[in-house]
Structure formats: C-alpha cells, structure tokens
Chains A and B, each alone.
Chain A
Amino acid sequence: MGALIKAELRKILSTKMWWGLMIPAALIALGFTWLGAAFGTLDALKSELGASLPTVLPTFAFGLNFASIFPAVYGATALTGEIRHRTITTTYLTGSSRGAVLVAKVVAYAVVGVAYGLACAVFGTIGAAAGAHGTDFPGLGSWLAMCGVGVLVMVLWTLLGVGLGALVGSQIGAVLTLLLYTLLVERVLATVLGHQHLDKVPPYLPNAAGSNATTELSLRLFFDEMPGAVRSHANFQQLKDLLTLADTPPWWGSALVFAAYALVLGLAGWVVARERDIT
C-alpha cells in the first residue's frame, strides 16, 4: 500500500497541474480576506462602532468556498486523467488490485487537499494582515479555527472530486459535472425546493453543506469577536437570515453531511471503477 501511495504522490508531483490549480485557489483566499479585513477596519466604521468589525472571518469563509472548486477539479482528474492519457493501463498492471490503487489515490489526494488548505490558510492570513494594515487581526484562536476548517473542507472537496471522477470516468465529464452542479444546478434546485416550501432541504445539498461548514463557523466566530455593543442573539439570527443560513445545521453538522456525500460518491466510484473495462 505504501508503495502505491508513493507512486501516486510521484505522479502528482511530476506534473504541474497540482500547483497550477493551487495558485488561483490561494489568490482567491488572499483577495477575500484582504477585502474583508479592509472593510472591517474602515475608519468610518470604527468611529461609528468604537471598534473594528471582524468581517475578515466570514469573507475568509467565502473565499475558501470559492477556492474549493480548484482542489475538487484537481481531485476529479485523479483517475480520469489516467484514463485520458491511457496511463491507467500501466497503473492497474502495477497495482496489486484496483481497490488498492483507488485507496492509494484517496490517501495521496487527501495529502494534496491538505496542501491546498494550507496554501489558502497562508495566503488568507497574508490577505487579512495586509487588508487591515497589520492592525486589528482577529483573535488567534478564531483564526486558527477558520484555517483548520478550511483545510478540512479542502480535503473533503478533493476527495469528493476523486470519487466523482472514478464514477464518471471521463475527465471532461467529471469536471463539467462538478462545475455545472456547484455553479448552477444546485442553485436552481434550491430555488425550486424553496418554492415547494421545502426550505429545510437546500442546506443539506452537497455544495451548501460544504460551504456552510466554513460559513456557519465564521459567523459564530464573527459574532464572538464583535464589539460588545452590537453583540446580541437577535443580531446573530438576523445575520444568519441575511445570509439565508437560518435553517443551517452547526458547522460540524454541515461538515458531516458533506463528508457523507464525499463518501457515497467515493464508494460509488469504487464500485464502478472496479468493473470498468480498460480497452
């Protein structure tokens, strides 16, 4: 197993795509925290509230959510890229079983997911510091919690991509499915469900669950770090309503729901990839 994981890591590191997709992810994290930090520390806002607002926390979450499409796409190429370049033949011929190859891919791509998470954490931190001109940084505990959940969702998105790719088989098909679903299909679905008075359902859809894991935590931390004058339970609910997060489970609940989606896709992908003829 260790041998196959080493082989997968060598595959990843011997081409450029892993860092090619990491650059936009890291820059998105940086841009969002920069803007959030700059807004929260505006002089006008500060004089109004008597203190700065930790808006950088929710914008970090938004940034992570946008950036997560990149590790997801990279994960989707894990198996489909091999099918596309026909290296899958040699990969299956050099592995003890297809199952072992897929497990090795999951482990190796989880490592890649951690790397994406860390890159976003580092660049997000740089953006937060730069946007606030080095002042008014949120509490270290809150910030590390956001970085931690960022790494977690990046890993989950990567593995969801791996599972989807194994299931679909075609690289273009897997990437298009991923992009279309997250950017379009789920939004339409959520709207339709809303009109059917099924408002409780959309937070449990995959993209919402993945996004809410970071967003819900960021709102809690944001609320904790707010200046005392504006901190109240009513304000927190108002904020959640404003972001249409009223029916959202706590961040760890969303993370579990999202992990379940990744697991189901992974298992489905394993079943299909095990039987797939490589002609």
Chain B
Amino acid sequence: MHDGSGRIVVQGLTKQFGQVTAVQNLSFTVEPGSVTGFLGPNGAGKTTTLRMLLGLVKPTSGTATINGQPFHRLGNPARVVGAVLEAQGFHPNRSARNHLRVYAAAMGVPDERAEQVLQLVGLDAAADRKAGGFSMGMKQRLALATALLGDPQVLVLDEPANGLDPEGIAWLRSFLQSFARSGRTVLVSSHLLAEIEQTVDQVVIISRGQTMYYGQLDDLRRQQQTRVLVRPADPHALVKALQEDGITEVESTPDGQLAVSGADSMRIADIALAAGVAVYGMQEEQLDLEQLFFRLTSGQFTAAQHNPYGQPPGGGWGPPAGGAPQQAYQAPTYQQPGYPQQNPQHPQQGTGWGGNA
C-alpha cells in the first residue's frame, strides 16, 4: 500500500505517440504542504504527464508515483488523489447530483458527501440540472467537486482556471492555498504563469516535453533583470567603450540594437558621450516573471533561433522581486489588452530618449 506521504515523484518519464515525443525524460518531485505549478505552453506535454501520473496513459519509459506507489496500486485511488483533468467529463443528460452520486458510490463514500462538495463549489442550486447545459465555469466547478468527493490527500488540476470568471479564479486560488496549508499536496498546471503566480510556491516549467526549470518561484523571481536597448550610430565603437568601462554583457539584437545588461541608461549615455558615439535611441527594459517564463519556454516555437537574451545570470542583482509581476496579475490576464504574450521581446516598461545624447 501507499506510504501516505502525499509526495508525487516523477522520474525519467517519457511518452511517445507514434513518431511524436510528447514527454521526454521528465523528472520532478512535488512535496506536500505546498502548491506546485506545472507550467508550459500549450502542447508542451503537461496533460500527457498528468495523465501518466494518474495511470490513464501508459508511459513509454520512466515512472510516476503518488505516495510511493504507481496509480494502479493505490487501492481506492480516489481517496488518495483527486484530479480535475478536463471540464468535459460529464454525461450531458446526467444531473450534477447524479454524476456525483455515481462516483460517490464508486469510491465508497456516503451520498451526503455529494451534497457537501456541491455546496463547497457553489453548485447546490444547479444540482438537479443536466451537466450538458452547464457553462464552462460550472463544469469546472463540477469537475473540482468530483475531485474532492473522496477527500483526497493529493489534488491534481489541469488548467483549472479555464472558463472560470475572475471571482472563480480568486476563489480557486484561496481554496488551493488553504488545501495545501492543511499539509496536503496540490499540483496545478497552466500555460499562463501570471494565472497561478500568486498561488504556487514552486514551479516545474516544461517546454517540448522537457524540464526547463524546477524549483522555488522566489528563486526564479530573483533572476529578474533589467537591460537597456541602445541604438548607436557605431555599435562597434560603443561596445568597445562599454567593455573598457567593464560592461561586458552586451549583445546585438536582430533589429540592430545593442542589449546592454549590468548598467543603467544614464551610465551608458555617459560612456557613449565620452566615446563620441551618437545614440539615436535608448530604452530601459525590465524582464518580469512572465518574460522569464517565455524565455524558458520559447524554444518550443523558435528552437533554432538565436536567443538574444542569452542565459540569465544566477545572481540576484535585479530590482526588488514582486514589482512588475504582481502588477501584471491584479488585472485578470485575459482582460488586459496588449498583454505581451506573442512577443516576449517587446519592452513592457521603458523610457525612451530621442536625439543625441
């Protein structure tokens, strides 16, 4: 039987669907008492990984265990792990209450438990309506209610915020945090970091089926940095002048600008002036968590392209953590126009200078 630890261990997990490698040698551990975010762009292999963890998809190689056991050895699995994998798993003509009573019977919990979870997710008024007529948000709530029926120790959620209104997302966030605080385990996937940034303690970021980052979210935050985009008349002269001043982290961007890290715009302007290099424009750019996330996962779409940002330095010399990313979250991401999803290189914050320096 399982060890009751609440720990999820994924080791060397690989899945191939024919020629397509959906998940490649994935390893991570999820500890109880915390909310772990499982992040990656759509198609990165998140769902396949979660389904392998839950015994729905057979891994090509590797193992995934909950409480030290593979899913099929958990005995009465729904009492150990509850899962929200999709908001579509309902017979359209079965009422929400009957849906829950079916699975309450399967996991051997009393029928009153169905009423409890209906109230918990706020669906008691719609309990006798057919699930086929539910909105996306209501289906998500019913899926969560189903996952909670067995009062599980581990909760696995695949994109649970899809279709939820901002109020629902806020409710889900506090629910997951209190669930984890009671010493239980939460693993929640999303393709948007901002969506779960305030909820999760640690993150597993994957792209193209591989782990890109695995650790505390705070450690990732410390990797935030600013850089300055400069458009000089003579790039070579400016690079030389910067290097003489000890600023070596300089890269050229595809549009012919220089990306300078480790100095603010005022210092760069002074150096340019001293070196006699005309500067046509300068822009300070701050990377927030979301952009870090894009950098970690951009390989999925631009694998062969040169990444002008290079690797982030390990040090924590950037601006204080929690500035920009929290701003980004306060307004629900899907309502914020022009959110820089498609173009991570686009400067989110910046000051422009015109003319010569």
Contact = CB atoms under 8 A, between A and B. Distances in A.
Interface of A: 3-4, 6-7, 10-11, 14-16, 81, 85-98, 275, 277-279
A234 to B, nearest CB: 56
Interface in B142-196: 146, 150
Interface size band for B = 35 or more
B85 interface: yes
Contacts of A97: 72
Contact of B76 (A6, A14, A96): A96
B106 interface: yes
Interface stretch (B28-36, B88-96, B253-261): B88-96
- Greatest chain B CB density within 10 A among A81, A86, A98, A275 is at A86
- Greatest chain A CB density within 10 A among B56, B78, B90, B93 is at B56
Per CB-CB distance, the 10 closest pairs between chain A and chain B, nearest first, are A7-B106, A14-B98, A278-B56, A7-B105, A94-B106, A6-B105, A94-B78, A3-B108, A86-B89, A277-B57
B103 A7 contact: yes
23 contacts: A3-B105, A10-B98, A10-B102, A11-B91, A11-B94, A14-B91, A14-B99, A15-B91, A15-B93, A16-B93, A85-B90, A86-B86, A87-B90, A90-B89, A91-B103, A92-B55, A92-B56, A93-B81, A95-B77, A95-B106, A277-B57, A277-B58, A278-B57
Contact of B57 (A3, A91, A279): A279
Interface string B189-225: 0000000000000000000000000000000000000
B146 A90 contact: yes
Contacts of A95: 77, 106
Given A15-B94, A87-B90, A87-B91, A278 B106 contact: no
Contact of B105 (A10, A87, A96, A278): A10
Given A10-B98, A275-B58, A94 B103 contact: yes
A87 B86 CA distance: 10
Contacts of B237: none
Contacts of A93: 54, 56, 77-78, 81, 83
Contacts of A92: 55-56
Given A91-B103, A94-B78, 17 more contacts: A3-B106, A3-B108, A10-B105, A11-B102, A14-B98, A14-B102, A15-B94, A85-B89, A87-B90, A89-B85, A90-B103, A91-B106, A94-B77, A96-B76, A277-B57, A278-B51, A278-B56
A279 B103 CA distance: 20
A7 B78 CA distance: 14
A85 B92 contact: yes
Interface of B: 47-48, 51, 54-58, 72, 75-78, 81, 83, 85-86, 88-95, 98-99, 101-103, 105-108, 146, 150
Contacts of B55: 92
B105 A89 contact: no
Nearest to A88: B89
Contacts of B91: 11, 14-15, 81, 85, 87
A229 B89 CA distance: 65
Nearest to A12: B102
A91 B107 CA distance: 10
Contacts of B90: 85-87
A275 B56 CA distance: 9
A87 B56 contact: no
B53 to A, nearest CB: 11
A10 B56 contact: no
A275 B343 CA distance: 42
A16 B95 CA distance: 12
B108 A96 contact: no
B158 to A, nearest CB: 10
A10 B58 CA distance: 29
Given A96-B77, A279-B48, A87 B89 contact: yes
Nearest to B56: A278
A245 to B, nearest CB: 42
Contacts of B98: 10, 14
A195 to B, nearest CB: 42
A226 B220 CA distance: 90
A23 B342 CA distance: 56
A81 B89 CA distance: 11
Contacts of A279: 47-48, 51, 56-57
Contacts of B77: 93-96
A276 to B, nearest CB: 9
B152 to A, nearest CB: 10
Nearest to A10: B102
Contacts of A88: 89
Given A14-B98, A15-B91, A89 B56 contact: yes
Nearest to B79: A94
A182 to B, nearest CB: 27
Nearest to B47: A279
A120 to B, nearest CB: 25
Contacts of B81: 93
Contacts of B102: 7, 10-11, 14
Nearest to B89: A86
A4 B107 CA distance: 8
